Amino acid sequence: MQRRDFLKLTAALSAAGALPFWSRGLMAAERPELPVPALLPADARSEIAITAQAGFTQWNGKRVPSWGYNGNLLGPALQLERGKAVTIKVTNRLPHATTVHWHGLEVPGEVDGGPQARIEPGQQRTVTFTPDQPAATCWFHPHQHGETGYQVAQGLAGLVLIRDNEAEKLLLPKLWGVDDIPVILQDKQLSADGAKIDYQLDIMHAAVGWFGNMMLTNGVSYPHHAVPRGWLRLRLLNGCNARSLNIAASDGRPLYVIGSDGGLLAEPVKVSEIGLLPGERFEVLVDTHDGKPFDLVTLPVKQIGMTLAPFDQPLPVLSIQPLTVLASGSLPDKLVAVPPVPSLDKTTDRWLQLMMDPQLDSQGMQALMDKYGHKAMAGMEAHGAMVADHGAMKHDAMNHDAMQGMAGMKGMSGMEEGSSSAAGYDFRSGNKINGLAFDMHKPAFAARRGEYEKWTISGEGDAMLHPFHIHGAQFRILSENGKPPAAHRQGWKDMVSVNGWRSEVLVRFNHAASAEQAYMAHCHLLEHEDTGMMLGFTVA
């Protein structure tokens, strides 16, 4: 850290004293302070050590068992430098096997951390790679097949910050925890007695995803944070298992989007609110020069299962209190060079049809309505009436091009496998891509390294949201649910929304992935992923 930055940091951290005593006391009494994950750069040997471990976290006055990396909950923010090799040693001190996936990093399959890269309890895994991609906010989390949702719900997640020279030249806010703030958003459900995280992967959650009734920001409920007056940078991560979010300022002040999953945009994009899919990241700047406090809120979304209280109205997730000290960052007119979308003349086309077994759909939706009533259906009451015809609808929805894209695939007759007997139905393979549930030992296809591919990901015939993620690359969205991508979604991405229609992305893989350490492509609604909506693929 340069001396001037250190001085600014010291001044800003001590600036809480600029608030009147009664104001500071009131803030502290009403809500907790925002925990800021520690920055963890590589040491002198270019190594980083993280440990997955069990611990306890205080929620609602109860000591609740939780999991974290290098602590009780969540983890540090790993700081990587573009072009500099790093070795990361992961130790597993959990009672379960786990993996660590580097979500958003363009790394070879052998270090990507998919479900094949198991770390047994008491064991260690070491990976070495050299980041070679633009500055970005990425993250890391478990990818243990069948348990990803459970392990993320227990608290395993952390940020990865990639730095590069081009981004460092910009006068953006850069003082970690002062004017550059990580905001990790997750919902949680506790047991009735508040003594544990109430995670269940049953037929209801396999259909709609696991959701909670408590919103956490960096692991605590509705914290406050004092910031210098000026431009504030928020690194937003939707770390929820299944819930999509829609973030805004409580007083309507605009948000200026400067970056998405894979890096900074070409120029800031002004928005009044910004949607985040599960697993998605955005960097936004907010102007606090007026010195007025405000809340960051998540607005109601139209998603099955996600409309119940307290999410049926704007819900505050972070209270921001500007101080009298001034920040030094700015909002540039231009950010970084983002290359134009290449020509589509010579691309390999792939079709991925996302589908849910009719029986999982029918029984899952019925379980949801039995427990919560029609208010949980997000205004999609007709969905339940369509369930009986859902199997035919899915097949009808796949047009001639879709069927051609799936031609030659084995197991098409298995699309509704197990749906004839309710008693014997196994929902754990009830979500599929191109008619097949995930098979770790059978990659679905082979991509050619360095060549562009156009993927069409279809959710036709399915009323569910599917936040789709591709490992090993950053892509460009060509269309999202049949529409051109919004301006702030036109940069580098690794997440795309598939919501009842087709989305198209242009992707190129620059690293190899063998059959033994294949890349994954999957729905990032974690319970869909855990119950089959994932495939592996190789790159050579």
Residues 111-160: pLDDT tens digits?
A: 999 999 999 999 999 999 999 999 999 999 999 999 999 999 999 999 99
Residue 407 pLDDT grade (very low, low, confident, very high; cuts 50, 70, 90):
very low
Q: How many CA atoms are closer than 13 Å to the CA of 313, on its beta-carbon side? A: 2
- Mean pLDDT of the region 418-440: 81
Please determine, for residue 25, whether its predicted confidence score (pLDDT) is greater than 80: no
Please name the amino acid found at residue 203: I
**Contact criterion met (CB below 8 Å) for 527 and 242:** yes
Please name the amino acid found at residue 207: A
Please determine, for residue 539, whether its predicted confidence score (pLDDT) is greater than 70: yes
pLDDT tens string 313-323: 999 999 999 99
445 vs 360: CA distance, rounded Å:
27
Please determine, for residue 291, whether its predicted confidence score (pLDDT) is greater than 60: yes
Range in 224-233, 291-300, 323-332, 374-383 the model is least confident about: 374-383
- Mean pLDDT of the region 433-462: 97
Pairing assessment for the beta strands 231-238 and 263-271 based on DSSP bridges = unpaired
Looking at per-residue pLDDT, the higher value among 408 and 31 belongs to: 31
Please determine, for residue 217, whether its predicted confidence score (pLDDT) is greater than 80: yes
Please write down the HEC assignment for all residues of 149-181: HHHHHHCCCEEEEEECHHHHCCCCCCCECCCEE
Residue 438 pLDDT grade (very low, low, confident, very high; cuts 50, 70, 90):
very high
- Mean pLDDT of the region 299-317: 96
Strand partners, 309: none
- CA-nearest of 111, 116, 114, 117 to 92 is 117
- Mean pLDDT of the region 368-386: 77
Residue 239 pLDDT grade (very low, low, confident, very high; cuts 50, 70, 90):
very high
Longest dimension (CA), the chain: 72
Range in 23-37, 144-158, 242-256, 396-410 the model is least confident about: 396-410
Please determine, for residue 19, whether its predicted confidence score (pLDDT) is greater than 90: no
Range in 176-190, 220-234, 420-434 the model is least confident about: 420-434
**Contact criterion met (CB below 8 Å) for 211 and 237:** no
Please determine, for residue 88, whether its predicted confidence score (pLDDT) is greater than 90: yes
- Integer angstrom CA distances of residue 302 from 75, 188, 243, 299: 31, 19, 10, 10
- Mean pLDDT of the region 270-287: 98
- Integer angstrom CA distances of residue 409 from 27, 102, 144, 267, 416: 60, 30, 26, 43, 15
Range in 4-18, 38-52, 420-434 the model is least confident about: 4-18
Give me the sheet containing 263-271, strands edge to edge. 214-217, 180-188, 231-238, 281-287, 255-260, 263-271
Bond before 268 cis per omega within 30 degrees? no
Residue 345 pLDDT grade (very low, low, confident, very high; cuts 50, 70, 90):
confident
Average pLDDT score, the chain? 90
Instruction: Express as a percent the part of the chain with pLDDT over 90.
Output: 84
Please determine, for residue 83, whether its predicted confidence score (pLDDT) is greater than 70: yes
Please determine, for residue 393, whether its predicted confidence score (pLDDT) is greater than 70: no
Please determine, for residue 7, whether its predicted confidence score (pLDDT) is greater than 60: no
**343 CB-near residues (< 8 Å, 6+ apart):** none
Residue 380 pLDDT grade (very low, low, confident, very high; cuts 50, 70, 90):
confident
- CA-nearest of 228, 69, 231 to 151 is 69
Residue 461 pLDDT grade (very low, low, confident, very high; cuts 50, 70, 90):
confident
Give me the sheet containing 502-508, strands edge to edge. 431-433, 348-356, 452-458, 502-508, 476-479
Please determine, for residue 24, whether its predicted confidence score (pLDDT) is greater than 80: no
Residue 4 pLDDT grade (very low, low, confident, very high; cuts 50, 70, 90):
low
Q: List the Cα angle 229/234/236 in 5-degree steps.
A: 160
Task: Enumerate the H helices of 320-436 as residue ranges.
Answer: 358-372, 382-386, 390-397, 400-406
Q: Is the dihedral of CA 424, 427, 430, 436 positive or negative?
A: negative
- CA-nearest of 249, 246, 317, 323 to 285 is 249
pLDDT tens string 177-204: 999 999 999 999 999 999 999 999 999 9
User: Please, what are the domains in the chain?
Assistant: 348-356+428-539 (2.60.40.420)
pLDDT tens string 478-496: 999 999 999 999 999 999 9
474 vs 507: CA distance, rounded Å:
7
Q: List the Cα angle 318/320/326 in 5-degree steps.
A: 150
Task: Enumerate the H helices of 58-137 as residue ranges.
Answer: 109-112
Please determine, for residue 533, whether its predicted confidence score (pLDDT) is greater than 90: yes
Please determine, for residue 436, whether its predicted confidence score (pLDDT) is greater than 90: yes
Region of 207 on the Ramachandran plot (φ > 0 left; ψ -120 to 50 alpha; else beta): alpha
What confidence score (pLDDT) does residue 335 get?
98
- Mean pLDDT of the region 354-382: 91
What confidence score (pLDDT) does residue 532 get?
98
Residue 423 pLDDT grade (very low, low, confident, very high; cuts 50, 70, 90):
low
